[in-house]
Structure 1
Amino acid sequence: MNRVARSTFAVAALALVAGCSGGSNTPSTSAQPPTSAPATSTSQAGLAPPITQPKLDQAATFAPKPCDLLTEAQYKTFRASKPGEMGDSVLGKECTWRIAQNPNTSLGGSFSVALSTKADAGLNSVYGQRSTYKAFEEATVAGYPSVHANTGTPFGQGDCFAYTGISDSVTISVGVTTGDKAAAEYKNPCGMADKIAEMVISTIKGGS
């Protein structure tokens, strides 16, 4: 996903969000944290909605192998024909899948997944920096609290970075980006991000 510098994916303090700074159409990868994300403080505790679904602490085992979070059948539903590519982020490991190019354009896209297991990188931290995002909205994925939060690009313009809390210590980070205005995910990237997160949750619950 390349409106974002690939060097920093994801959630730093899961407020990590995205830094799309709209411009380049070359897919980069991930959700990019702000340059300085504050650690979760007592004042931030409880800002995010509580987790009412069974907490998925076992998800931490996937943190070093995020490419296992989507099966081949799952990632192919998003026009990704090849396995994801492992990369490093401020959180640890992330996995990025390339979206096949629209045959009528030269533009493609990508989506990335990472798990945050850092104490200062949960939904409370995202809520604590709410005012810093250009676009912010609450969501729910498979019953778990989630947010869509972009620092540089409004929703509906190809990019969406989503964070879903699945336990007190694990947050799913998904980044979607495309410069292809003809692609369905360009107008609804957050819908795609939520579907990806839901699939990740299914994989974690299945333990595969």
Structure 2
Amino acid sequence: MRIFKITRFTAGAFAALALLTACTGKTGPGTTSGSASPVSTGEATDNGAPKVPAPLDADGILADPCSALSAAQQDDIGMVKPGSAEQGPTGPECRWKSTASPLNSAEVSPFTANKNGLSDIYAQKASSAYFEPLTIAGYPAVSTNVSDLRSDGDCPLWVGVSDQLVVVVTAQLGEGKNRATPCVVAQRVAEAMIQHLKEAA
């Protein structure tokens, strides 16, 4: 249980930094399907974040974050249905436990507290313990946090679904073969989310 509490603290700390930047106006946050790749260069924001090439309609997951994945996708990834939704300090969120272990979970959270998408996350690069841009199913993303807990099974992945909205996909693995590579799980969930949002449009 301790790993989940640590994750919420560090993600919240990163969120607080991003909120501070937005308020002050500073410029400057299973298995793999193989869709993740280094982020492509091209049009970027003032903070260096890539522009989202084709914004996704996120109204559905803003109203119900547990609708981010289809029932078939939840089964394929190995999630206990239904997910548990709540209103977090930075936006709505849905958490799914793993069918393999109650110590493993994944969370999808539209980050509504900030209004500049990945640009606000990139503005916090200097405050991050690690910062790894990548592309998920054609959409810009970055793996980053204020503390590096990946070896403890914790990986938050920030995905730009529009230039105004970033969705945080977090894998929290307390045990099992993927605990040492939680970002692989986060990437798979993020790809499934993008696919589902495209199909729902």
Please confirm whether the aligned pair reaches a TM-score higher than 0.5, indicating the same fold.
Answer: yes
Q: Structure 2 matches for 1:22-61, cutoff 5 A? A: 31-34=11-14, 35-36=16-17, 37-40=19-22, 41=25, 43-44=27-28, 45-51=45-51, 53-56=53-56, 58-61=57-60
Does 1:98 find its partner at 2:91? no
TM-score (norm. length: structure 1): 0.75
Check conservation: 2:115, 2:164, Cα contact below 8 A. Answer: no
Q: Where do 5+ consecutive residues of structure 1 fail to align?
A: 10-17, 20-30
1:113-192 alignment, distance < 5 Å: 113-120=108-115, 122-180=117-175, 183-192=176-185
Q: Is the 8 A contact 1:100 1:108 kept in 2?
A: no
The amino acid that maps onto 1:90 is P
Partner Cα distance (1:172, 1:110) in 2? 17
Gaps in structure 2 of 5+ consecutive residues: 29-44
Aligned-pair distance for 1:52? 5.0
- Cα offset, 1:111, TM superposition: 0.8
AA in 1 matched with 2:73: Q
How large is the RMSD of aligned CA atoms in angstroms? 2.6
| Aligned equivalents of 2:164, 2:120: Cα separation in 1 | 12
Query: Structure 1 residue 164: deviation in Å?
Result: 0.8
Q: How far off is 1:120 after superposition? A: 4.0
TM-score of the superposed pair, with normalisation by structure 2: 0.77
Contact 2:48 2:119 in 1 (8 A): yes
Question: Does structure 2 retain, via aligned residues, the 8 Å contact 1:112–1:176?
Answer: yes
**For 2:51, what is the secondary structure of its paired residue?**
coil
Residue 46 of structure 1: how far off its partner (Å): 2.3
**Residue 72 of structure 1: how far off its partner (Å):** 1.8
CA contact (8 A) 1:98 1:108 kept: yes
Q: Corresponding residue for 1:200?
A: 193
Identity %: 27
- Seen in structure 2, the aligned counterparts of structure 1 residues 72 and 4 have a Cα distance that, compared at 3 Å, is same
